[in-house]
Structure 1
Amino acid sequence: MMSNGLTTIGFDADDTLWQNEQFFRLTEARFTELLADHAEADHLSGRLLEAEKRNLGHYGFGIKGFTLSMIETAIEVTDGNVPASVIGEILAAGREMLRHPVETLPHVHDTLEQLSRNYRLVLITKGDLFDQERKLAQSGLGDFFDAVEIVSDKTSGTYARIFERHGDGAQRSMMVGNSLKSDVAPAIEAGSWGVYVPHHLTWVLERIDPPTDHPRYRQIDHLGELQPLIKMLG
């Protein structure tokens, strides 16, 4: 435990511990190719993003909602005339994403292994339950975590409840992730430390300005810098 009381560290999963967004980008490129005869790529991407925004409240975050949004967009841009073969290709692309091997990011394993000796580690991720469980199992990182929380969304209330349930409250906790909007800002609002680890690909809906003037905000380049940061804070 740090001298300032840190006992619990929460980690985001997608694009913090393992690659995720790159598979969405690749699938989106495949989607725009399938519908190239009906609309320009930029227009299709814009329509798809609009569908994703509309559908978050219905389908939540993750591959299944993304796949349904692609189908919806395909129906819209073709005025209902999208060929069944294209729908089949979209469904196949979604299944391929769900089967893709997990690729952990640099420094993840060693950092979690070392921190797990002195802190309670909690995986806090949003998305499809089955897919997140699959990725955690394939990653080989599950044994480092004292608890796993797969949530529908990440708000200050979410972090307050999780850090109370699995730790000593938000004030003695830290959240680490690649999304300022989901991982950092609401965790800080709940009272914890928020550590931003940028990923070169971040979904546009997860982007906000960093709270650089907040005393509990920090940014590191990669997870290999997390332990030195914690030591410095202590």
Structure 2
Amino acid sequence: MSVGTTAAAGARLKKPSWKDPRLLIGILLVLASVAGVVALVGAADQTTEAYAAREPIAVGEKLTTDKLHRVKVRLGDVEEHYLTPETGVGGGLVAVQRIGKDQLLPRESLGQPDALDRKPVAVTVEESLPAQAVPGSRVDVWVALPDTRNGFGQPTLLLPGAEVAQLTQGSTALGSSRSTVVMVLVQDDQMPKLLGAQANKAKISVVWNPGGASR
């Protein structure tokens, strides 16, 4: 082997110096990559506390902290749209939309009582309700007014697509048969007709509305 060849091989085998720019650039790239992964994992793991409902909260029901529990969630940029322990529960708030069990509380679902555009009214029905008629579902309310023959006239649709706020099992005065008290949400302009029908001892029937919308 010639002297020139030996010198060239020695140059190739020479250990890189800490001052070698290529080595420094490589170290910087590795550090930047590690820092990026750490930041990404940290951002993905950022959670915040928010309020969720212990049990379903009906429209018009007053909001108190004993009806809520805290959950850890990742809300990110939408955190401001939900109720959190950090912002607290304002006094006098009621639900203006139904909130299901363990659901987060959107701020738009809460308001003052005077902001309610629908109010719950109790309607007692004697017939069995379909299984689909549950809180949050929509029903049609039909009424048949008493006639002069001690019977009832032709039923008419009074409340199309009314939302069910709550269901309570009841019984007749003698306890001989079961009845159901259906809390339906009624708009102010519909209220006189419903209250008038109840005052006139009308027969009221509730029918599940699968379309879910008023007409």
Q: Does the pair score TM above 0.5? A: no
TM-score, normalization: structure 2? 0.23
More strand by share: 2
More helix by share: 1
Question: Which protein, 1 or 2, shows the higher relative CO under an 8 Å CA cutoff with sep ≥ 6?
Answer: 1
